Structure 1
Amino acid sequence: MRSILVTGANGQLGSEIKKLSRLYPQYEFTFSGRETLDLGNLCKMEDYFDGKRFDAIINCGAYTAVDKAESEPELADTINHRFVSMLAKIAKIKKSALIHISTDYVFDGQNYRPYVETDPTDPQGVYGRTKQKAENAILATAPANTLIIRTSWVYSSFGTNFVKTMLRLGKERDTLGVIYDQVGTPTYAEDLARTVLELLPKISNESPEIYHYSNEGAISWYDFSKTIFELSGIVCDVKALTSDQYPTQAKRPHYSLLNKSKIKNDFGITIPYWKDSLCRCLEELGAKS
């Protein structure tokens, strides 16, 4: 395995893979952003792959504006589902390994224990439904050497995310209200990127496999924001809000914990604790006190 295509290369995960790619000189990376492969323009997708073959495709591209998806369901479906469906078919025809990134939003968020890969899916909004449809499309196409990795609460030193938003708002305001009744695990995109790259030479399955990956531990958005401020030395009074006090267009899962036993056992990986990873991200941003 040598030639690797990374789609959605300018997003959080794609950017982290690009940053780490210099540590993997055995691979020839092609990083594809919207300017070369527009995930919303399916008509040009076959043209892009015409005459090209990659040993592996890492699909980091997605429509991730969870609330906006409620008013743009067709675009969200094109990017999150129909593009992925075509990508799976291309991977099968060209015998390319495929790693596709999915989400905790495929679940209803009502569990009482961390979700395992075989738990029933029941997405509660457009974003989650489009990601569920993508998973189903991959499973139906059944290309060999394919992994679906569900993750949650992704943040990075790249792009727009909760950590960077809190750093900005914490400096602008004396008081913030943050939801405390939604529990999950933050995932540092650099950790996920490193794991994806480490899995590449280990992929060997006859049909698609689903795995869960997030950092270790559990926390609410409220506690996450408090920790961000403490570690960065920002003084801001954080008020705990219920989800009802902060209504959004899309319903958020109240419980997003993912069981990572399968990926740890199958690939022998060690997953960092969320707070340790947050410290590293804040250092990368120059925001750690």
Structure 2
Amino acid sequence: MVRKTVRTRVRRFDATGEVTARADKLAGEEPLEVQLDGDQFTVTMRTPGNDVELVAGFLLSEAVITSKADIVTIDFASGLDPDGSRNYNVARVELVPGVWNREQYGARQVYTSSACGICGTASIESVRKETRHPVGPPEPLISPRAVLGLPDALREQQQLFTATGGVHAAAVFAVADDGAEAELLAVREDVGRHNAVDKVLGWALLEDRLPLRRTVLQVSGRASFELVQKAAMAGITVLSAVSAPSGLAVDLGRDTGVTVIGFNRGTTFNAYSHPSRIFGAADDGQ
């Protein structure tokens, strides 16, 4: 049985030595096996929920598909517990003939953790993917005030985090023409930050909204290479994180045209690549 949350008993200790017993709620984490055209493709650990979106977004991120039209079916009927009950932990994906070729894609390990999706790639040469949805030119897009409002707008929608304190979140916002406001389009949560992003990307793909130009992807943690790449694969213009980016994430942002923002909290943020998308900034070629 797949569950977004699980209940448990805990002992709470304080500095005085007092111990109290109480009920607690934890984020669910279960394996999801993705079978692609009859072959095992990968196994990832995720928080159950929005699994069709997760599979679709993952395949987009891995450059296996580029649109909803590439998918014939995503079926969860194969996942069974030992007692014969359905557990929804196996996704059988059928693609349109000719969309994907295993030999051209190359070898891939069959396990990715909730902490790191990139560890499922067989070689460093396989990490970088080419997008079919390039972002737009580095023109002014959004005001600083609108950027600063994104983390709070995301936090207000983090129901699973409020319940458990143990999940990441990602949200995509559409920027108004004048750049003064950003409308929340979709938000998803997961124990894996890459899964949360894949769920948002899968939503966009299944809603035929790609490429996601004039949008900002706001994430609850740091900006890694992998998250910048996922943003680029969907044509997302700006990736904003509440924590720091990695050096490789910034390099990729510069190469792909994605504006990478870090430390977006309180009253300030840092723009590490293509700052000209923020009103009031001049583009220095970075």
Please classify the TM superposition score into its range, dividing by the shorter chain length.
Answer: under 0.3
Greater relative contact order (CA < 8 Å, ≥ 6 in sequence): 1
Write 1 or 2 for the structure with the bigger share of strand.
2
Write 1 or 2 for the structure with the bigger share of helix.
1
Larger Rg: 2
* TM-score where L is the length of structure 2: 0.23
